[in-house]
Chain A
Amino acid sequence: MTKPMLKMTAAFADVMPAEYVELVQSGPFGKGYGVADLGSFKELIEEHPLCAGCGLALAVRLIMASLPSPEDTVVVGSTGCSSLAFPQIALQNIHSLFGNQNAVATGLKRALTLRFPDKHKDVLVVAGDGATADIGLDMVLHSWFRGEKLATIMLDNEAYANTGGQESGMSPEGCVLNMAPTGKKFKKIALPEIARESGCAYVASVTPVQPRKLEKAVRRAILVAREVGPTYVQIFVPCPTNYKFKPQETLVKAKQKEKDQTYPLREFITPEAQSYLAAIEGGGKRD
């Protein structure tokens, strides 16, 4: 998508549904809105079929509000809970086969770089923990090894949540789920550390409890991926359905894990990315 694509033809402006008129008139395209502006503009996602209290839904909303250039962003997703929400977003998005998201994003990014050599086209990979750390780990790791300029975001709900609740590599040790009744037998994969060692220029793990922190991580990941190299953000998104807590307790659970360090928040930045970020964030500008 580009900005001209967001202009309606005069001949049909009178029959366009109000939703689209609103998106053009008060959407985030080219306006530089962020998380602090939520509620004052037409958001890229409004309705979704996810469960009540889903942490992932909140994270998707915050990610969409954090994009530095939504009009020049393509989202690549994969199978999982997030793939139920992404068809609803008002952005170009590709649903890849389960686990293929970073391979698909690689091809897309390379094609966009050839097609638009003078422009930044952000390719944002957003997938669940199953697609990123288990089934698609091969594709994810190799995209990092190759130094592809992609921002990879993992929505970590610590389970295969929409298939009944199987344990994933990101489930914590000992956790009991519907389809893991005897408890998980090994530790949670330390993917932020693996990302750091695999060539990611920027790595962060965050939760939706602190929206501004999440926004900062997402923006940094996208901006660093434009110029420096691959980036990775891991977002903890508690799942009330499979971890069996009340929908209104989602943020409490996330906060608790932050507090007791069972979900440590981290940020690794390479010196090159650090100097790049210092240059663009120095003036307090978003972009």
Chain B
Amino acid sequence: MKNKHKRWTFARKYCMLLKGLQLFYGGMILTKYRVLAGPEGYLPPAAACEGIALPDVGYALIEGREVPEQEALSAIVDKLLSAKRPFFFPGPNVLWEWKAGVAEKAAAVRKLADTAGARVIPMPDYRPKYPMINPAIEINPNHPNLTIWHNKIDVCVFVGVHCHYANMALKIIRGGTDCYTIAICGEAGHEDANITLRDAGIPQLEALTAMVAERRRLS
């Protein structure tokens, strides 16, 4: 019993040491964790806990790897155009005209979705509805997997969802579905998405639309 306990303690310490080396080495954050499409299983780790940091200004993340924004834009176009059932999930920030400039951003998002041939399912608010939402016409951050499963969505785009609910929903999607997640974020980005932009506004949305249209024209 005593030896077993010793072995267990040693194993634990060894794991912690490896984890520490993995996270911090020579001042750089090194992690083997990749934010890939799931299903990762029940209670997937937050990407931040696995050493994935938010991108710097002018950069983006592709599966946890920091890349220049342009590379991420190109990757988003690839994913949208190669998807069987791409969907956009606009959140309250673009669904409700709560301040000046929102209508223009919403129009840019819609134009991108339409150009990419993606369907739109809104997330009008965050209420955990009773008895359940209708997954055919709406998505809720508390159980986004229902909408993904119901519509057999393979690529989804979050845009205009408040950060804390986006993080939660992205993690649930990674945990329970094989859907590839893209976050077009107007703030600091979402490390839990497979691809995330940061500080994304109308210029990025218009650039994506132009790239999608051009790719469609060439194909």
The interface of chain A, by Cβ under 8 A from chain B, is: 2, 4-12, 15-17, 20, 47-49, 87-90
Asked if B106 contacts A87 (CB within 8 A), the reply is no
Q: Do B96 and A11 touch across chains, with their CB atoms under 8 A apart?
A: no
Question: What are 25 residue pairs bridging A and B, where the CB atoms are less than 8 Å apart in the complex?
Answer: A2-B98, A4-B97, A4-B98, A4-B99, A5-B98, A7-B96, A7-B97, A8-B96, A8-B97, A9-B103, A9-B106, A9-B107, A11-B107, A11-B109, A11-B110, A12-B94, A12-B106, A12-B110, A16-B95, A17-B122, A17-B124, A47-B130, A48-B130, A87-B127, A90-B127
Stretch at the interface among B6-14, B28-36, B131-139, B186-194: B131-139
C-alpha gap A20/B123 in the complex (Å): 11
Q: Assuming the A-B contacts A15-B121, A87-B127, are A9 and B134 also in contact, with contact meaning beta carbons closer than 8 angstroms in the complex? A: no
Given contacts A12-B106, A12-B120, 12 further A-B contacts (CB under 8 A): A4-B97, A5-B98, A9-B106, A10-B103, A11-B110, A15-B121, A16-B95, A17-B138, A87-B127, A87-B128, A88-B127, A88-B129
Question: Whole-angstrom distance between the alpha carbons of A184 and B150 in the complex?
Answer: 51
Q: How far is the CA of A15 from the CA of B138 in the complex (A)?
A: 9
Query: Using Cβ atoms and an 8 Å threshold, which residues of chain B touch A17?
Result: 122, 124, 134, 137-138
Report A-chain residues with C-beta under 8 Å of the C-beta of B176.
Answer: none
A7 to B131, CA, bound (A): 26
Shortest Cβ distance from residue B91 to the other chain A in the assembled complex, whole angstroms: 10
What is the CA–CA distance of A20 and B122 in the complex, to the nearest angstrom?
Answer: 11
Report the minimal beta-carbon distance from A172 to chain B, rounded to whole angstroms. 31
Q: Could you tell me the distance between the alpha carbons of A7 and B90 in the complex, rounded to whole angstroms? A: 15
Kindly state whether residue B23 has any CB partner on chain A within 8 Å: no
In angstroms, Cα B178 to Cα A134, docked, is: 47
With A10-B103, A12-B122 known as contacts, the answer to whether A47 contacts B129 (CB < 8 A) is: yes
CA distance A268 to B58 in the complex (A): 62
Cα distance A16–B120 in the bound complex, in angstroms: 10
Residue B122 contacts which of A4, A6, A16, A90 (CB distance < 8 angstroms)?
A16
Count residues of chain B with CB under 8 A from any CB of chain A.
26
CB distance from B156 to the nearest CB of A (A): 15
Please, how many angstroms separate the alpha-carbon atoms of A5 and B94 in the complex? Answer: 11
In the assembly, what is the distance between CA of A16 and CA of B110, in Å? Answer: 13
Q: Which of A5, A6, A12, A17: most chain B CB closer than 10 A?
A: A12
In the complex, which residue of chain A has the Cβ closest to the Cβ of B111? A11
Shortest Cβ distance from residue A42 to the other chain B in the assembled complex, whole angstroms: 14
Cβ of B98 to closest chain A Cβ, rounded Å? 4
Chain B residues 140-199 with CB under 8 Å of chain A are none
B102 is an interface residue with CB less than 8 A from chain A: yes
List B contacts of A49 (CB < 8 A).
130-131
- Which of A2, A5, A16, A49 lies at the interface centre, i.e. has the most chain B CB atoms within 10 A of its CB? A16
Contact flag A5-B130 (CB < 8 Å), given A10-B107, A11-B106, A12-B122: no
Closest chain B CB from A216 CB (angstroms):
29
Bound Cα distance A17, B130 (Å): 15
